[in-house]
């Protein structure tokens, strides 16, 4: 089945593995900017964005996989210096047509600097009319998610242009009635195929986006495809079809 991975860091994955995934049905990958280190300077972001947007377009075209780039400042990647310069770069890159979303952004600890950077970036996304990939942390998920929702509210960001990502059953009660999209990361340490399957059945599947969040951390880039197969086999083919392609196409306007 053809599907789009709605959130990954596949620019860190070899072309051979991506080619195999592509032959197995993966037709497009949202690649959101993130590095496993806190940059010491804003110039790191420039190189990262050029890699995710320009270099990936060239690389993925060799195997016919569609790149869907997103750029932003991840809460764990807030540069230790030159913050204003970094935000200026985000503003410039967000305006490019090739860039389909602001992401990955969000809160990790939820401290004041993170809140400030998130708020500034949401305003930039609103001005550029780009949707947002919103990270929620592993620990303290409920408290930090509450803060995230407060920031979204405070800047009057349209909820239908936010995907709250890395959702799990712990925060189901907080999110199910929201007007946002629901991001399920089918990845070791986040959600198993079975856990995602249960959540898809409980949420409004018109607004569910699934992803592998593949990075340098333990990742199983084909788990989302296993979830789609499980939905098909359980006669939930409408949900499967929408989650595979329709929802990401609609959300990222591609
Ligand atoms: Zn991610």
**Cα–Cα distance measured from residue 212 to residue 68, given in angstroms and rounded to the nearest whole number:** 14
Task: Output the domain CATH number for residue 231.
Answer: 3.20.20.140
**Cα–Cα distance measured from residue 113 to residue 116, given in angstroms and rounded to the nearest whole number:** 5
Q: Which domain holds residue 14?
A: 3-252
Q: What is the pLDDT of the chain when averaged over all its residues?
A: 97
Residue 29: pLDDT band by 50, 70, 90 thresholds? very high
pLDDT in tens, 41-96: 999 999 999 999 999 999 999 999 999 999 999 999 999 989 999 999 999 999 99
- Centroid of ligand 1 to alpha carbon of 32 (angstroms): 7
- Centroid of ligand 1 to alpha carbon of 38 (angstroms): 15
% of the chain beyond a pLDDT of 90? 98
User: How many separate domains does the chain show?
Assistant: 1
pLDDT in tens, 95-115: 999 999 999 999 999 999 999
- Centroid of ligand 1 to alpha carbon of 7 (angstroms): 6
What string of DSSP letters covers 147-197?
Answer: HHHHHHHHTT--GGGEEE-S--GGGHHHHTTSSSEEEEEBBTTTB-HHHHH
- Centroid of ligand 1 to alpha carbon of 234 (angstroms): 29
- Centroid of ligand 1 to alpha carbon of 151 (angstroms): 20
Question: Can you read off the two tokens belonging to residue 180?
Answer: 């946002």
- Centroid of ligand 1 to alpha carbon of 149 (angstroms): 19
- Centroid of ligand 1 to alpha carbon of 213 (angstroms): 5
- Centroid of ligand 1 to alpha carbon of 235 (angstroms): 30
**Cα–Cα distance measured from residue 61 to residue 193, given in angstroms and rounded to the nearest whole number:** 30
Please, what's the b/e burial string for 231-242 (b: 16 or more CB within 10 A of its CB; e: otherwise)?
beeeebeebbbb
- Centroid of ligand 1 to alpha carbon of 76 (angstroms): 11
User: How much is the pLDDT for 81?
Assistant: 85
């Amino acid at each position: 089945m053809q599907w789009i991975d709605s959130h990954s860091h596949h620019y860190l994955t070899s072309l051979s593995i991506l080619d195999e995934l592509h032959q197995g049905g993966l037709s497009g990958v949202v690649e959101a900017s993130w590095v496993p280190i806190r940059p010491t300077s804003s110039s790191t972001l420039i190189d990262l964005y050029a890699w995710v947007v320009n270099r990936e377009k060239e690389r993925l075209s060799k195997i016919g996989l569609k790149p869907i780039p997103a750029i932003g400042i991840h809460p764990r990647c807030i540069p230790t210096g030159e913050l204003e310069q970094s935000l200026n770069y985000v503003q410039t890159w967000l305006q490019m047509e090739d860039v389909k979303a602001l992401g990955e952004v969000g809160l990790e600890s939820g401290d004041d600097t993170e809140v400030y950077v998130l708020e500034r970036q949401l305003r930039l996304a609103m001005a550029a009319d780009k949707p947002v990939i919103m990270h929620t942390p592993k620990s303290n998920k409920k408290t930090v998610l509450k803060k995230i929702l407060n920031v979204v509210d405070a800047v009057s960001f349209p909820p239908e242009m936010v995907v709250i990502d890395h959702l799990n059953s712990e925060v189901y009660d907080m999110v199910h009635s929201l007007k946002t999209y629901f991001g399920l990361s089918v990845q070791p340490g986040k959600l198993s195929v079975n856990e995602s399957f249960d959540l898809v059945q409980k949420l409004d599947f018109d607004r569910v986006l699934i992803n592998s969040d593949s990075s340098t951390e333990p990742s199983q880039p084909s788990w989302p495809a296993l979830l789609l197969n499980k939905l098909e086999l359980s006669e939930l083919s409408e949900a499967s079809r929408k989650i595979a392609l329709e929802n990401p196409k609609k959300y990222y306007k591609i």
